[in-house]
Amino acid sequence: MMRDLPQAASAALLLEWYDRHHRDLPWRVPPAAARKGAVADPYRVWLSEVMLQQTTVQAVKAYFEKFLALWPTVGDLAAADTEDVMKAWAGLGYYARARNLKKCAEAVARDHGGRFPDSEEGLKALPGIGDYTAAAIAAIAFNRASAVLDGNVERVISRLHAVETPLPAAKPEMRALVQALTPADRPGDFAQAMMDLGATICTPKRPACSLCPIPTDCRALKTADPETFPRKAAKKEKPLRLGAAFVAVDGLEAVYLRKRPETGLLGGMTEVPGTDWTSRRDGDTSIDAHPFPAEWEPCGTVNHVFTHFELHLSVFRARVGRADVGEARTGTSGWWEPLASLRAQALPTVMKKAIAKAIPHAFEAG
């Protein structure tokens, strides 16, 4: 029992700090409201956690508010048109999340009566929910004593215990340490306290150790430089891939767009015609790879960094008549989108870059 007392004391100090210094986030129930009986909405918690994967809090806030305005409940999202969901997600990146978001909402509405399962195992059975997201929802929405381990928590726990094993191999060890530290009382607030500590004080660079509520427990602070934790395996250099994008504009200042296949990278998103590049191979970069005959002219190159590779797209532009573009003539189907409504399309960032390269004022309209 004596071994558990330091852990309990640390958790209590961290919760006291969280009560005073928590971040105000639109999906969160603040401690004062929780003490008055307010409870977290599992839909909001799930939506925010999916959006926050590989994305900053600042970037997510506006998207979260937009989704709630469009689809206030999981049932509303389940009934939404997939294309509308993809359009609303455009610009947030990692588009498989949007497809899984829709599938998960459908599963909750269809198989669970519109109520999220309240256990990690039940949550992990849903589309797009892995270990971390299941633990976060279970803790924050249902107050389960789950070990929540995101990037912020990894940093905090690795410094508290001076974990020498590099990531990602250290994840099981870190998860066990977080589990041992998680209190039975207020585990959801504790998980969010760990996240806030990592986001605001125990930061990657120049951590504010003098403001930390639990500095005496930090082995990294006592024995090493906290900035060197978590240890990380050497990163592999991202491969460079090449491709081409073709921006066709008609006499009415509309751009020719098409939809990508549902599966694969950027699946189901909108694009301008281009060559067949992937994360594993280059596409043709020449003007001869055009999707249909026109007076194509080079506009330069745009660069975009994906998770596992970097892409350089050669961009070409042509002014064409609508009669010259069509499935019967070109073997490709698509549609003409006015510049004024381009912003509303499900265009991933890389495609917006390509269009803006060809038409600098494209996204100034609307």
Alpha-helix runs per DSSP H in the chain: 4-21, 31-35, 42-52, 57-70, 74-79, 82-89, 96-111, 120-124, 131-142, 151-160, 171-181, 187-200, 219-223, 327-330, 349-358
Question: Residue 183: CB partners within 8 Å, gap ≥ 6?
Answer: 8, 11, 12, 15, 145, 190
The one catalytic residue in 49, 106, 271, 337 is 49
Write out the two tokens for 37.
């009986």
Residue type for position 299: C
Catalytic annotation present for 49: yes
3 state DSSP class of 205: coil
Look-up: residue for tokens 């891939």? 241
The interaxial angle of helices 171-181 and 151-160, nearest 10 deg, is 80
Residues in the chain: 366
CA–CA distance, 156 with 153 (Å, rounded to integer): 5
Residues designated catalytic: 49
